[in-house]
C-alpha cells in the first residue's frame, strides 16, 4: 500500500523505507526486553516508534499530539508503537499515574498490542542494563566519577559564549572511577557527593556535550524497583538506551530536545558494541575483509576515515589512529590499501573495535550504506493551547491545592478532564490533526479551535433533547384540566435515521426564564405580554403547539413566577393544521409533572486570560472564578435514563454530557461540554 506523506516526519520515514529496511531484521543479542524465542525471529514491524511518558501526572492535550503522531505513524507505515513509561525519576512518580496514562491512551483509541504481544515497557526494568552500559563507558574511558560540588560543576560548565573548564577529576584512572561508581551503587556515598559524567568535550559549543551527568545518587524508593537502587540514570542517558533496547527506529520528541540529539547519537554510537547486534558483528567482518587487502572498497573506506576523523575520542588507540589520519588530512591524501598506514589503522580498529564505533559508523557508510541501524531522533513542534496551562508541574499544583476538583475536573486540559467534560476521542484526534506537525516552534492554538472540533463531532452524533436550565412555570389556561398527551420529537433534524421519541406534554410546563420578558429588548421575538391593544406574540413550543401569553404572576419582589398562556389545539406539530397559525420563534420546554429534576454544571474556560503563563501574576491567581456554575432545572424523562458519558444536544442550549462520576438514573447530572456556537467576543 502507498501511504501519502502529510508531514515532514512522514516524508523522512518514507525516505528511510525507500532505502531499505530501517529495522534490524532480527532480534539478536538484545539483552532486553524481548523473550528468548523472539531474539531469533524476524521483526515484523517496518518501523517502531514509542510514546514515552513519565508517570508523574495525568496526560494533557499536548500529550495527545505525541500519542496521535507516534501511534498514527506506526499504523500508517505498518509498524508498531510502544507505550513506555519513562520512570527513571522516583519520588514524583506513582502507579496511579501509570494507570491513568494507560486509560488515556486507550481512550484516545490507540493500543500497544502487536500481533498478540504487548509492547508495554517500563524504563526501570532496564536499570541493570543502563548500569552495565555506564560501567562499560567508564572502562573504555568515556565516563568518570566527578566529586565537584554542584556549584563548582555549574560554574565550570561555562556559558553559551564561553567554553567550560575541565573537572580536576576528569582524568582520574578509569579503575578509580569504576571503584567509586560501584560504591555509589552500594550506597556508600551521600546524595550529591558525586555523579558519573560522560567524558566528551568541555569546550563543545553544544552545552549538552560538556560532560553531562549520566548517573546520580538518590536514596528514593522507586515504585517498581523498590529499594534495589540508590543511583538512577539521568533522562538523557536512559533514553537512547531504552530506544535501542526496544529496537525503536524513529524516536520522536518535541523541539526542546533538539540540542540533546548530539548526546543521543554519542551514547548510541558507543553502546552499539555492547548491544551485540548483528550489525556490529557484520561490521567486524567487513573490517577484517578490508584489512586483509582483498576488498577493493578499502580505499574509499580509508578516505572516509580521514573525513570523519573528528569522531575519534581521546583513548590511547584512538589518539594513535588520529595521528595517522591528521598527517594525511594535512597532506590532502588518504592512506592507500596495503600501505603501512593502512595496516596500522586496521590493526588498531580490529583490536579495539568498540572504541572506534563512532568512526566506523560513518566510514562504513561509504561501503555499506545504512549499515548501523540505530534509532534516530526527530523533533517536532509542541502543542500550545490558549487559556490553559499545560505543564504537569502546574497542573499538579492546581490539583494539590484544591483549585480544581481533581485531575479529571471538566475544566482541566487533561485528557481525563476533557473526557469528563464531554470531549469525544474523535474530537481530540481531529483537533490534533488540525494543529499539524512541523518544526516551527512557539505558536499557540486558540482554544476555540478545540471547541469547534467538539461541536463538529457532536453536531453529527449527539441526539437532540430538551432540558430547562433556569426554569419558569408556564400554565396553559385553556388546556384540558388534568389532561396530558405525548408529542413526537425528532432526535436529529438532519438525520431522520436517528428516529423520533415521545415527549410528555400537559397544561403545566417548565420553560427557560430567559424566554419570557416583561420589558423585552428591541428585537425580542419570544414570550412577552401584549401591550396597548397590540396583538399578543405567538411562539411555538418545540414539537408541540403554538401558544400566546396572556398574563403573569409575580412575587412580592416583582419577580415573575408563572406565565399564563393559551394554546391553539389545531397547531400541533406534525398535523395538517400546524401551518394555520404562524409563530416567529420556537422555544423548548419540559413537562412539569413528568419532567425530572436535574443538576447542570455550566463550565467555562479555566483561565480567561489567553496566556496565563506569560502573565506577570502567578497563574493560580488568574483562574476564572466563574468557570463553574451549578444550576438546578428539569430534563425530559428520556434523559433520566441516560448513562454516564452519554452526550446530547440540549436544544437551543448546548452540548451536554451525563457526568461519568455523579450522574445516576434517578438523579441526573449533566455537564456543559460546549455551547452551540462560538461565543467569543460575547
Ligand atoms: P510537561 O512538560 O507537560 O510536564 P513532559 O514533556 O514532561 O510534559 P512527558 O511525560 O515526558 O511529559 O511527555 C511524554 C511525551 O509527550 C514526550 O515525548 C513529550 O515530548 C510529549 N509532549 C509533552 N507535552 C507535549 C506538548 N505540549 N505537545 C506535544 N508533545 C508533548
Ligand atoms: Mg518529561
Ligand atoms: Mg516537561
The answer to whether the CB of 553 falls within 8 A of the CB of 560 is yes
Closest ligand 1 atom to 55 CA:
10
382 a catalytic residue: yes
Atom 2, ligand 1: residue with shortest CA distance: 391
**Ligand 1 centroid, distance to 383 Cα (angstroms):** 9
Query: Which CATH number is 380-460 given?
Result: 1.10.1160.10
* H or E element that contains 354: none
| CB proximity list for 108: less than 8 A, separation 6 or greater | 64, 67, 68, 415, 425, 428, 429
Domain limits, the chain:
8-276, 278-372, 380-460, 468-588
To test the pocket of ligand 1, the residue of 51, 62, 97 to mutate (highest count of ligand atoms within 8 Å of its CB) is: 62
Closest ligand 1 atom to 256 CA:
20
Residues, the chain: 682
Which sign does the torsion angle of CA 342, 343, 345, 349 carry? positive
Say yes or no: ipTM exceeds 0.90: yes
* Assigned C-alpha cell, 228: 534495589
**Ligand 2 centroid, distance to 204 Cα (angstroms):** 25
Per DSSP, the three-state class of 245 is: helix
Q: Which ligand is nearest to the CA of 50?
A: 1
Distance, in Å, from the CA atom of 652 to the CA atom of 514, rounded to the nearest integer, reads 12
**Is the whole model's pTM more than 0.90, yes or no?**
yes
**Ligand 2 centroid, distance to 381 Cα (angstroms):** 15
| 549 beta partners | 565
Distance, in Å, from the CA atom of 666 to the CA atom of 658, rounded to the nearest integer, reads 12
Q: Which ligand is nearest to the CA of 89?
A: 2
Distance, in Å, from the CA atom of 203 to the CA atom of 206, rounded to the nearest integer, reads 8
Distance, in Å, from the CA atom of 640 to the CA atom of 636, rounded to the nearest integer, reads 7
Closest ligand 1 atom to 392 CA:
4
Catalytic-labelled residue, pool 210, 270, 337, 392: 392
pLDDT of residue 5: 67
Task: Output helix, strand, coil percentages for the chain, rounded to the nearest 5.
Answer: 35, 20, 40
* H or E element that contains 217: strand 213-217
Among 16-30, 304-318, 325-339, 576-590, the least confident range: 16-30
Per-residue pLDDT tens digits for 24-53: 666 555 556 777 777 667 777 889 999 999
CA distances from 241 to 131, 272, 442 (A): 11, 10, 30
CATH 3.40.50.620 fits 8-276, yes or no: yes
Among 97-101, 144-148, 179-183, 518-522, the least confident range: 518-522
534 or 490, which is more confident:
490
Atom 1, ligand 1: residue with shortest CA distance: 391
392 a catalytic residue: yes
| CB proximity list for 327: less than 8 A, separation 6 or greater | 341
Per-residue pLDDT tens digits for 375-429: 899 999 999 999 999 999 999 999 999 999 999 999 999 999 999 999 999 999 9
Candidates 92, 609, 95; CA nearest to 393 is 92
Atom 29, ligand 1: residue with shortest CA distance: 382
pLDDT of residue 29: 52
**Ligand 3 centroid, distance to 266 Cα (angstroms):** 23
Bridge pairing between strands 628-635 and 647-650: unpaired
Distance, in Å, from the CA atom of 437 to the CA atom of 95, rounded to the nearest integer, reads 31
**Ligand 3 centroid, distance to 63 Cα (angstroms):** 11
Distance, in Å, from the CA atom of 423 to the CA atom of 454, rounded to the nearest integer, reads 6
| 363 beta partners | none
Atom 13, ligand 1: residue with shortest CA distance: 53
Catalytic-labelled residue, pool 54, 485, 548, 613: 54
Atom 22, ligand 1: residue with shortest CA distance: 63
Task: Report, as an integer, the average pLDDT of 484-503.
Answer: 96
With cut-offs at 50, 70 and 90, classify the pLDDT of residue 280. confident
Q: What angle do CA 143, 145, 150 make, to 5 degrees?
A: 115
Mean pLDDT of the chain: 92
Among 20-29, 202-211, 215-224, 389-398, the least confident range: 20-29
**Ligand 1 centroid, distance to 156 Cα (angstroms):** 30
Distance, in Å, from the CA atom of 253 to the CA atom of 368, rounded to the nearest integer, reads 29
Bridge pairing between strands 80-85 and 120-122: parallel
With cut-offs at 50, 70 and 90, classify the pLDDT of residue 1. very low
Query: Which CATH number is 468-588 given?
Result: 2.40.240.10
Closest ligand 1 atom to 393 CA:
4
* Assigned C-alpha cell, 216: 546520580
| CB proximity list for 286: less than 8 A, separation 6 or greater | 295, 364, 367, 368
Closest ligand 1 atom to 390 CA:
3
Distance, in Å, from the CA atom of 508 to the CA atom of 529, rounded to the nearest integer, reads 18
**Ligand 2 centroid, distance to 442 Cα (angstroms):** 18
Q: Which ligand is nearest to the CA of 62?
A: 1
Per DSSP, the three-state class of 346 is: helix
Given a cut of 90, is residue 318 above it in pLDDT?
yes
* H or E element that contains 564: strand 560-567
Candidates 83, 408, 143; CA nearest to 266 is 143
| CB proximity list for 482: less than 8 A, separation 6 or greater | none
Q: Which ligand is nearest to the CA of 393?
A: 1
Distance, in Å, from the CA atom of 21 to the CA atom of 78, rounded to the nearest integer, reads 12
Closest ligand 1 atom to 53 CA:
10
The answer to whether the CB of 169 falls within 8 A of the CB of 148 is yes
Candidates 513, 468, 516, 514; CA nearest to 654 is 468
* Assigned C-alpha cell, 501: 421519541
pLDDT of residue 39: 67
Catalytic-labelled residue, pool 382, 461, 470, 566: 382
* Assigned C-alpha cell, 327: 598527517
Distance, in Å, from the CA atom of 117 to the CA atom of 120, rounded to the nearest integer, reads 9
Closest ligand 1 atom to 384 CA:
27
What separation, in Å, do the N-terminal and C-terminal C-alpha atoms of the chain show? 49
54 a catalytic residue: yes
pLDDT of residue 32: 60
Residues near ligand 1 with C-beta < 6 Å? 52-54, 62-63, 65-66, 253-254, 382-383, 390-392
**Ligand 3 centroid, distance to 251 Cα (angstroms):** 17
Distance, in Å, from the CA atom of 61 to the CA atom of 415, rounded to the nearest integer, reads 6
Distance, in Å, from the CA atom of 56 to the CA atom of 227, rounded to the nearest integer, reads 19
To test the pocket of ligand 1, the residue of 55, 254, 393 to mutate (highest count of ligand atoms within 8 Å of its CB) is: 254
pLDDT of residue 127: 95
pLDDT of residue 293: 83
The beta-carbon contacts of 609-613 under 8 Å, at least 24 apart in sequence, are: 609/387, 610/386, 610/387, 610/444, 611/386, 611/444, 612/387, 612/388, 612/389, 613/389, 613/391, 613/394
Q: Which ligand is nearest to the CA of 235?
A: 2
The answer to whether the CB of 157 falls within 8 A of the CB of 195 is no
Amino acid at each position: 500500500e502507498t501511504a501519502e506523506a502529510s508531514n515532514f516526519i512522514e516524508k523522512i520515514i518514507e525516505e528511510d523505507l525507500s532505502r531499505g529496511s530501517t529495522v534490524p531484521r532480527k532480534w539478536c543479542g538484545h539483552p532486553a526486553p524481548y523473550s528468548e524465542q523472539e531474539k531469533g525471529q524476524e521483526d515484523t514491524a517496518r518501523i517502531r516508534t514509542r510514546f514515552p511518558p513519565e508517570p508523574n501526572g495525568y496526560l494533557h492535550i499536548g500529550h495527545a499530539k505525541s500519542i496521535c503522531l507516534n501511534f498514527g505513524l506506526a499504523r500508517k507505515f505498518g509498524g508498531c508503537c510502544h507505550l513506555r513509561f519513562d520512570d527513571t525519576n522516583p519520588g514524583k512518580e506513582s502507579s496511579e499515574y501509570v494507570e491513568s496514562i494507560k486509560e488515556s491512551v486507550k481512550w484516545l483509541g490507540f493500543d500497544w498490542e502487536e500481533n498478540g504481544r504487548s509492547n508495554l515497557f517500563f524504563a526501570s526494568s532496564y536499570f541493570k542494563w543502563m548500569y552495565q552500559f555506564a560501567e562499560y563507558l567508564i572502562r573504555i574511558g568515556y565516563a568518570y566519577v566527578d566529586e565537584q560540588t554542584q556549584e563548582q560543576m555549574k560554574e565550570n560548565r561555562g556559558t553559551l559564549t564561553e567554553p567550560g573548564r575541565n573537572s580536576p577529576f576528569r582524568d582520574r584512572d578509569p579503575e578509580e572511577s569504576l571503584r567509586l561508581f560501584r560504591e555509589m551503587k552500594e550506597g556508600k556515598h551521600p546524595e550529591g557527593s558525586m555523579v558519573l559524567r560522560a567524558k566528551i568535550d568541555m569546550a563543545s559549543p553544544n552545552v549538552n556535550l560538556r560532560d553531562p551527568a549520566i548517573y546520580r545518587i538518590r536514596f528514593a524508593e522507586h515504585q517498581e524497583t523498590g529499594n534495589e537502587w540508590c543511583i538512577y540514570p539521568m533522562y538523557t542517558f536512559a533514553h537512547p538506551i531504552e530506544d535501542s533496547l526496544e529496537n525503536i527506529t524513529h524516536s520522536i520528541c518535541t523541539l526542546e530536545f533538539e540540542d540533546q540529539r548530539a548526546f543521543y547519537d554519542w551514547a548510541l554510537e558507543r553502546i552499539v558494541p555492547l548491544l551485540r547486534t548483528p550489525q556490529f558483528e557484520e561490521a567486524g567482518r567487513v573490517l577484517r575483509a578490508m584489512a586483509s587487502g582483498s576488498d577493493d572498497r578499502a580505499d574509499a573506506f580509508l578516505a572516509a576515515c580521514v573525513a570523519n576523523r573528528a569522531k575519534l575520542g581521546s583513548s590511547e588507540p584512538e589518539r594513535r589512529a588520529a595521528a595517522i589520519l591528521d598527517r594525511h588530512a594535512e597532506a590532502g591524501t588518504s592512506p592507500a590499501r596495503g600501505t603501512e598506514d593502512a595496516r596500522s589503522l586496521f590493526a588498531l580498529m580490529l583490536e579495539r573495535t568498540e572504541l572506534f564505533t563512532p568512526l566506523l559508523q560513518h566510514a562504513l557508510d561509504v561501503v555499506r550504506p545504512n549499515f548501523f541501524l540505530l534509532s534516530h531522533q526527530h523533533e517536532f513542534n509542541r502543542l500550545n493551547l490558549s487559556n490553559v496551562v499545560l505543564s504537569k508541574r502546574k497542573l499538579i499544583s492546581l490539583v494539590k491545592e484544591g483549585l480544581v476538583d481533581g485531575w479529571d475536573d471538566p475544566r482541566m486540559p487533561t485528557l481525563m478532564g476533557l473526557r469528563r467534560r464531554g470531549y469525544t476521542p474523535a474530537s481530540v484526534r481531529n483537533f490534533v490533526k488540525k494543529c499539524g506537525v512541523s518544526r516551527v516552534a512557539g505558536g499557540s492554538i486558540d482554544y476555540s479551535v478545540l471547541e469547534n472540533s467538539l461541536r463538529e463531532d457532536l453536531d453529527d452524533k449527539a441526539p437532540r433533547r430538551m432540558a430547562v436550565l433556569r426554569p419558569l412555570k408556564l400554565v396553559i389556561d385553556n388546556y384540558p384540566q388534568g389532561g396530558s398527551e405525548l408529542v413526537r420529537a425528532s432526535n436529529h433534524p438532519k438525520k431522520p435515521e436517528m428516529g423520533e421519541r415521545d415527549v410528555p406534554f400537559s397544561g403545566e410546563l417548565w420553560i427557560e426564564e430567559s424566554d419570557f420578558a416583561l420589558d423585552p429588548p428591541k428585537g425580542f421575538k419570544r414570550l412577552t405580554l401584549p401591550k396597548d391593544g397590540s396583538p399578543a406574540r405567538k411562539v411555538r413550543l418545540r414539537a408541540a403547539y403554538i401558544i400566546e401569553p396572556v398574563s403573569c404572576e409575580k412575587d412580592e419582589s416583582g419577580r415573575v413566577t408563572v406565565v399564563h398562556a393559551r394554546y391553539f389545539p389545531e397547531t400541533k406539530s406534525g398535523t395538517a393544521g400546524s401551518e394555520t397559525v404562524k409563530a416567529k420563534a420556537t422555544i423548548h420546554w419540559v413537562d412539569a409533572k413528568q419532567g425530572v429534576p436535574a443538576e447542570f454544571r455550566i463550565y467555562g474556560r479555566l483561565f480567561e486570560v489567553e496566556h496565563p503563563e506569560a502573565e506577570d501574576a502567578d497563574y493560580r491567581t488568574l483562574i476564572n472564578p466563574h468557570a463553574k456554575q451549578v444550576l438546578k432545572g428539569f430534563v425530559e424523562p428520556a434523559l433520566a435514563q441516560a448513562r454516564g458519558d452519554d452526550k446530547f444536544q440540549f436544544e437551543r442550549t448546548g452540548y451536554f454530557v451525563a457526568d461519568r462520576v455523579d450522574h445516576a438514573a434517578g438523579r441526573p447530572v449533566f455537564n456543559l461540554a460546549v455551547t452551540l456556537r462560538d461565543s467569543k467576543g460575547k
